[in-house]
């Protein structure tokens, strides 16, 4: 492995361990769950963009508030 590869591996670990990245991943998981549920209800795949927009409008604020409350406990 070259030193350049090692450097980028360390940067990737730093990013993956950051709180911002963990929040992004958690939010993405919620959106994917929402996509699955809403697609099941509709009887077809509603697509990620539709699920994203719908989740943001309907659920994001409450989800973030609950995450912040759980983190400060």
Measure the CA–CA gap between 38 and 54, rounded to whole angstroms: 9
Q: Please name the residues in contact with 62: beta carbons below 8 A apart, sequence gap of 6 or more.
A: none
Helix residue ranges per DSSP H, the chain? 3-16, 19-42, 48-55, 61-71
Task: Tally Cβ neighbours within 10 Å of residue 27.
Answer: 17
Handedness of CA 46, 23, 70, 58 (dihedral sign): negative
Compute the distance between CA of residue 55 and CA of residue 49 in angstroms, rounded to an integer: 10
pTM: 0.75
Per-residue pLDDT of the chain (73 residues; tens, 9 = 90+): 444 555 566 777 766 778 889 999 999 999 999 999 999 999 999 999 999 999 999 999 999 999 889 886 5
């Amino acid at each position: 492995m070259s030193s350049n590869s090692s450097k980028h591996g360390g940067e990737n670990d730093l990013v993956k361990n950051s709180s911002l990245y963990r929040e992004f991943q958690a939010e993405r998981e919620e959106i994917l769950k929402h996509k699955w549920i809403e697609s099941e209800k509709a009887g077809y795949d509603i697509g990620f963009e539709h699920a994203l927009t719908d989740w943001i409008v309907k659920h994001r604020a409450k989800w973030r508030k609950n995450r912040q409350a759980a983190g400060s406990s």
